[in-house]
């Protein structure tokens, strides 16, 4: 009668030891994952990236409609704390379309749309689609709400900065935003770079991580690099959320 409780106590201690070992292994794996997670460098203008041509020959007239071309990229970035380790999460896509209009030294209007289902990131497609509710809200939009006085577009390889105001629609929620647009002329193109602060809660976006282990920090950032052309821009194209929801992270 006395031996049974001792055996039971040993079994309980053994089970607790196994559980503790599993927790330690899992924590170590998550910490290692935080170190191994690599996000691409922040978006940059061609001159900052060392790819501007610097040639002023053949420049197009400034006034007119400028459309997002093949070099345009839109994405998001956020910091994640995983067991005390910092890492960067990000998602990007080149499936962005839209245009702005320049007239008499001012950007009079502009609207751009991004295919949210086409974003690729360190998160799985399933997780990212769920976070942004891609099935219900497959696109995000940015609509300028006030003219931007630019005077004249800078010469090649020279960057100028302009304040801008717009409405950002994500996850079915529209909010006013302000940001700085950095503009660079590269040959016949105009490149526009902007970072827009994204307080996830303001757009009803849930980024709750694993309790006590992982935390995605708010605010994040919407990254925008527009390669604007007066030629044919990117076509509107929305991927199927169902077709991408089971894919692994790219």
pLDDT tens, the chain, 250 aa long:
455 555 556 665 655 655 544 444 444 444 334 444 567 888 999 876 544 444 443 445 688 999 999 999 999 888 877 666 777 888 899 999 999 999 988 999 999 999 988 888 766 566 666 677 778 888 999 999 999 998 877 777 789 999 999 999 998 999 999 999 999 988 889 999 999 999 988 998 876 654 444 567 789 899 999 999 998 899 997 765 454 444 433 3
pLDDT at 223: 95
pLDDT at 52: 43
For the chain, the domains span 37-244
Q: Provide the whole-model pTM.
A: 0.74
pLDDT at 188: 87
- Give φ, ψ of 18 to 5 degrees: -65, -45
pLDDT at 87: 77
pLDDT at 29: 41
Element (H, E) at 5: helix 3-36
| Distance separating alpha carbons of residues 181 and 108, to the nearest angstrom | 15
pLDDT at 67: 97
Q: Are 98 and 242 in contact (CB under 8 A)?
A: no
For the CA atoms of 16, 84, 125, 175, the dihedral, rounded to the nearest 10 degrees, stands at 130
Specify the length of the chain in residues. 250
Q: Domain 37-244 maps to which CATH number in 3.50.50.60, 2.40.128.110, 3.20.190.10, 3.40.1350.10?
A: 2.40.128.110
| Distance separating alpha carbons of residues 221 and 227, to the nearest angstrom | 19
The helix/strand count (H/E) of the chain reads as 3, 13
């Amino acid at each position: 009668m006395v031996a049974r409780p001792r055996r039971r106590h040993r079994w309980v201690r053994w089970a607790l030891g196994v559980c503790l070992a599993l927790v330690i292994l899992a924590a170590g794996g998550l910490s290692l994952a935080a170190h191994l997670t690599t996000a691409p460098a922040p978006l940059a203008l061609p001159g900052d990236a060392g790819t501007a041509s610097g040639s002023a020959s053949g420049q197009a007239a400034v006034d007119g409609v400028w459309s997002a071309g093949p070099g345009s990229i839109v994405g998001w970035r956020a910091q994640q704390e995983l067991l005390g380790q910092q890492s960067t999460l990000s998602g990007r896509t080149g499936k962005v379309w839209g245009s702005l209009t320049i007239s008499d030294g001012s950007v009079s209007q502009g609207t751009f749309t991004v295919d949210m289902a086409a974003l690729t990131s360190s998160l799985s497609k399933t997780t990212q689609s769920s976070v942004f509710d891609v099935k219900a809200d497959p696109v995000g939009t940015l609509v300028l709400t006030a003219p931007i006085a630019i005077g004249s577009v800078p010469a090649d390889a020279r960057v100028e900065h302009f304040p801008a105001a717009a409405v950002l629609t994500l996850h079915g929620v529209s909010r006013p935003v302000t940001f700085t647009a950095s503009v660079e002329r590269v040959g016949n193109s105009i490149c526009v770079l902007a970072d827009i602060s994204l307080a996830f809660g303001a757009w009803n976006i849930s980024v709750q991580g694993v309790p006590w282990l992982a935390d995605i920090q708010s605010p994040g950032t919407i990254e925008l690099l527009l390669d604007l052309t007066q030629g044919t821009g990117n076509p509107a194209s929305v991927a199927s959320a169902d077709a991408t929801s089971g894919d692994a992270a790219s």
